[in-house]
Amino acid sequence: MSAPLLKIENVTKRFGGFTALDSVSVDIAPGERFGLIGPNGSGKTTLIHCISGALRPTAGGIVFEGRDVTGLPAHKRTRKGIARSFQIPRPFKTMTVRENLLVALDFASLDHGLSAAEQTSHVMSILERMGLATKVDAIASSLSQVELRKMELARAMAAKPKLLISDEAMAGLSSSEVDEVLDLLLKLSGDGITIIMIEHIMHAVMRFSSRVMCLDAGKIVAIGEPKAVMENKRVQEAYLGA
């Protein structure tokens, strides 16, 4: 196995007296499709926040491409290649879809040399892949839920990430929409982008992931082959509360 793209080393995050993450360590290899599961409040989103830089871990470190990024603000991590979507979509709501993507082009991919025409063609090529091309000039606040999810992924893609973190991108979608988003993620993975997917929709996790990790109460309960993790007793207990 090649050197890990992302190393999470003993990451602990406490909020006051509450320990949301308790020395979590895991390596993620380039090109991996990594599923992250766990019941509500198990620390999945906190872990994502620590990786993307929205939160600083109380202890432990994040190493990306061999460099320690623990102290870097989120925007610098994005520029290094860590992009994410949000559990509840967070569009730039007063902007059009095009402008939403241009923010990422301008600030994250640092392609300042691109002409307006090149920017447009780049934006359009991403939107076409996401099936959003017809909405390029729509104001973000007018998009439907599934369109918002796609736009968040498109915006993350415009940042030219090496690692894409998808935080429940399928929550609240109909089953055909879930398949649409899942296909998108698989396509991106096919392009060589490493993906961490947080999801509650189990069949999606099973179909997508090459490896699955289950968190409960801030600790790793199980990690490994999707099937083995699902059959793990402690995983089932964590989900069913038995």
Question: Nearest to residue 60, comparing CAs of 9, 4, 25?
Answer: 9
Give the up-direction half-sphere exposure of residue 115: CA atoms within 13 A in the CB hemisphere. 2
Is 84 a binding residue for another protein by CB under 8 A? The answer is: yes
82/214 Cα distance (integer angstroms): 22
Residue 120 C-beta: closest distance to another protein, Å: 15
Question: Nearest to residue 198, comparing CAs of 37, 25, 40, 41?
Answer: 37
Is 106 a binding residue for another protein by CB under 8 A? The answer is: yes
The SS3 of residue 20 is strand
Residue 7 C-beta: closest distance to another protein, Å: 20
Question: Nearest to residue 220, comparing CAs of 44, 33, 13, 84?
Answer: 44
Question: Nearest to residue 169, comparing CAs of 38, 45, 39, 5?
Answer: 45
- Interface segment toward another protein; rule CB under 8 A; list 39-47, 124-132, 151-159, 172-180: 151-159
The single residue among 42, 45, 78, 166 that binds another protein, judged by CB under 8 A, is 78
Is 208 a binding residue for another protein by CB under 8 A? The answer is: no
Counting Cβ atoms within 10 Å, is residue 191 exposed (0-12), middle (13-18) or buried (19+)? Answer: exposed
Q: Which of residues 108-137 bind another protein (CB under 8 A)?
A: 108-110, 112
> How many Å is the maximal CA-CA distance in the chain?
59
The single residue among 155, 170, 188, 208 that binds another protein, judged by CB under 8 A, is 155
- Interface segment toward another protein; rule CB under 8 A; list 57-65, 74-82, 117-125, 214-222: 74-82
Is 213 a binding residue for another protein by CB under 8 A? The answer is: no
Residue 20 C-beta: closest distance to another protein, Å: 17
Is 86 a binding residue for another protein by CB under 8 A? The answer is: yes
Residue 157 C-beta: closest distance to another protein, Å: 11
Residue 103 C-beta: closest distance to another protein, Å: 5
Nearer to another protein, 54 or 59 (CB): 54
The SS3 of residue 113 is coil
A 10 A CB-CB count for 20 gives 23
A 10 A CB-CB count for 107 gives 14
Q: Which two tokens stand for residue 227?
A: 């099937």
- Interface segment toward another protein; rule CB under 8 A; list 21-29, 56-64, 99-107, 227-235: 99-107
- Interface segment toward another protein; rule CB under 8 A; list 4-12, 37-45, 58-66, 73-81: 73-81
Q: Which two tokens stand for residue 125?
A: 């090529």
Supply the DSSP symbol for 139. Answer: B
Is 90 a binding residue for another protein by CB under 8 A? The answer is: yes
Which positions lie near another protein, rule CB under 8 A? Answer: 52-54, 73-75, 78-79, 83-84, 86, 90-95, 99, 102-104, 106-110, 112, 139, 141-142, 155-156, 159
